Amino acid sequence: MSTPFEIGSFDEYLRTIHQELPRSNGNRLYYRGQCKRASEGFALVPSVARYTLLKAMPLSEREQLECEVLETFSNHLLTYVQHRPTTPWEELAIAQHHGLPTRFMDWTTNPLVALYFATRASEKTEQGTPANSAVYVLISNPKRYNDLRRGQTLPIRPLGDAATESAQPTTDDDDAYAEFGVDTDDEASARTSNIQIGDSLDDEPQAELGPAELPTPFKISENIIYDPPHVSPRIRAQDGVLLACWQPMQPLDDKDYMEIVIRHDAQDEIRRRLEQYGLFDKQLFPDLDGIAKWLKYRVFECGGQP
């Protein structure tokens, strides 16, 4: 992780975003706001990694459970949605949106949205003192799902089946990531079913899938940015994107992100400025929940002060 910036005001945050962040080669930047810093026990992991039960499971059992849960969720989708998902990516995105633990992490293309999530609720440390929060900036430039679909970037190589293939030497149990999903192309599944993890694929040209047959989220071999369909006004309002984590039980590598620390004594001022800029509950949560949160803040938390 890069040396953090420490922010003491709304204007200082804007200057940091516009003047200090790397923007070489036109790379997109993605932001994530957290009310607690990663160094204080709130690691940059997807929600599925926050369950001790799953951490204790062998790799193959854990991934099998993930897929079974998604299958059960997907079997109920048609009762509640108007648009039928066409890929496991869409199914998992809808599950994430409705609170099911998944291997997706929420990020945004809007740095002010990330600042909102970093400062919306002030937290305390374990010692009871006010806690700093943070905005994280993804700088590793992961491939984008849409670019892969259009063939505008190099394809990714799917990993084999850890449940049926012989284990390869590795320094970490999660370096071998398994497939437990339904491929969008049966022939693609057949072509990749016998690939050994860690084997050279130079003689297996079929191992790289084309734009029309991307791996499911359960057998990618690198992190992928996924722009979810706008199944809810919240996703659109928050400029939300999802990071599909190929090793979901492990925190993001320090080199993949930068940290912008938001000092606790600046959070009240930042909240007021965000509301002035239209970045608060009723805008980012365009539903009754958002209206209720907004009124709670304006009337009960800040005494109606602008």
Interval 20-74: pLDDT, tens: 998 766 678 999 999 999 999 899 999 999 998 898 899 889 999 999 999 999 9
For the residues 103-112, what does the mean pLDDT come to?
Answer: 96
Q: Read off the pLDDT of residues 209-247 as tens digits, 9 standing for 90 and up.
A: 444 468 899 999 999 999 987 766 767 778 889 999 999
H helices present in the chain, as ranges: 10-19, 52-55, 59-75, 77-80, 88-97, 111-119, 145-150, 186-192, 233-237, 267-276, 281-284, 288-295
pLDDT band of residue 170 (cuts 50, 70, 90) is very low
CA distance 129 to 264: 10
Q: What's the rounded Cα separation, in Å, for the pair 226 and 242? A: 5
Q: Which domain holds residue 188?
A: 2-277
What whole-number distance in Å separates Cα of residue 114 and Cα of residue 100? 21
211 is written with which tokens?
Answer: 């734009």
Element (H, E) at 107: strand 104-108
* 122 found inside a domain: yes
**Cα separation, 215 vs 191, whole angstroms:** 12
pTM of the model: 0.76
Residue 303 domain flag: no
Q: Is residue 306 part of a domain?
A: no
| 282 domain residue, yes or no | no
Residue 233 lies in a domain: yes
C-alpha angle with apex 107: 281 to 287, nearest 5 degrees?
25
Predicted confidence (pLDDT) at residue 306 exceeds the cutoff of 70:
no
Rounded Cα distance between 209 and 188, Å, is: 7
The DSSP bridge pattern shows strands 104-108 and 240-244 to be: antiparallel
Tell me the pairing of strands 30-34 and 2-7.
Answer: unpaired
Q: Is 144 exposed, middle or buried (0-12, 13-18, 19+ CB in 10 A)?
A: middle
Strands 30-34, 240-244: pairing is: unpaired
pLDDT in tens, 142-168: 999 998 888 767 777 777 654 433 333
Query: β-strands 224-226, 143-144: how paired?
Result: parallel
Please name the residues in contact with 245: beta carbons below 8 A apart, sequence gap of 6 or more: 45, 46, 103, 104, 105, 223, 252
63 domain-assigned: yes
Domain assignment present for 295 = no
**pLDDT recorded at residue 193:** 40
**What local confidence, expressed as pLDDT, does residue 73 receive?**
93
Q: Domains in the chain: how many in total? A: 1
Residue 136: enclosing H or E segment and its boundaries?
A: strand 133-138
Whose tokens are 């930047």? That residue is 29
Task: Tell me whether residue 292 is in a domain.
Answer: no
